Amino acid sequence: MKAVSRRTVLSIGPGLTAAAALSARTGAAPPARKPNIIFIVADDMGVADLSCYGAPQIRTPAIDRIAAEGARFTQAYANSAVCTASRVAIITGRYQYRLPIGLEEPLARNEIGVPPEQPVLPSILRAAGYETWLIGKWHLGPLPKYGPLQSGYDHFFGFRGGALDYFKHYEPGSDLWDGDTRIEQHGYLTDLIGQRAVDVVHAQNGKAKPLFMSLHFNAPHWPWEGPDDEATSAKLAYRELIGEAGTLATYNRMVEAMDKQVGRVLEALAQTGQADNTLILFTSDNGGERFATTWPFNGRKSELLEGGIRVPSVVRWPGRIPKGVVSDQMMIHMDWLPTLTAAAGTAPDPKFPSDGISLLPVLTQGARPVERSLFWRYKSNAQRAVRIGNYKALKIAGNTFLYDVAADPMERANLKRRMPDIYKRLTDAWMAWNAGMLPEVPQSYTYNNAGGEWSDHINTPAIDVNAVDGGGAWPP
């Protein structure tokens, strides 16, 4: 992104940025034939866990191919530092804090979910003529009231909770489903998810309806099991596999196993002649967990430091997105709904306008990146963050910071005292934005990386999940 002057930042309000112009321009007229859309989401992957993002120890040729034959974003953000909240933003195209389910970090103890009447990406695309599939993770509310089939998907194969054993398929009860029917099927879960996706691509060939597939892998989320670790799965209890097992080598194998399945999907598209009319994208739901690579950023999942919210994001659409695009456009999960609906020749429900922008002008027309205002909060440790241009204000517990994250991606040089006017402008913008969101509530779940489990989080206590940030002014 080009340098942003102090005057520019001070002139940017909480909702009035140059992004408004980009949002209004959805891109060129949609093609006469609607593209298939495949939306791939990894779980807890670090921003630098792909070869195309500099991973030195992991080989991901399939995902790298998507980037090489399309576009790669260098400033891509998750809407949250944890999965349920981010997935709410992905499916609604709006800040997750607009719905009670979006306050869950993650969904763990409450019987709530995405309301079936809420317009979401699959329901919007289904209304536009798409056949819709979710293959993989849901984690947006339990049956009988909530589920993929209740929220716009025609078909579902996968699991409903936050994670499950890759071989036993339980968390801790059996959680593998075909539609609304619980099933048992032997195999490594990443492979099962990939195989179903390949089967769907082949079955789609020749159909009149275009395909929308949410392909949401559980990898590389714990428990730490590679494709050859079935004996480990049988030996250790589920909780032992989370905190007492795992190695960097195992994690790398989990990522590479997922990349192998992405490669099989690309091959199936090519074999069936559908590749040229398929928009395929890959991202992660939040920043990386304990074995992930987040360099050059600090922070992990559950933290609003850059490493907890920066994610890889690559997209390919032959004939529409030029090959080899590297974009500095600052973007966020909720941008994908207006982007994909525009690509499909439709739009978000006007009663529930997206808080994101369409990225098609940047991707297909070479439009220049625009400055934006992006906002976050996280209940654990009363975290808040706002980024406008290159500057980011951050609050963790009672400590506050101002960083130039373009020049200082590690978030080390606190500029708050040197630039009090910018700090005030950003924090005032956050306060104005937060006034339009649901408040934090004691009953929502949250968690943090405590010192008892993470040795590098010295003296970090386990938090009171019922404690809330009252939304008061930022400390000066």
Residues tagged active-site: 83, 139
CA distance 425 to 284: 30
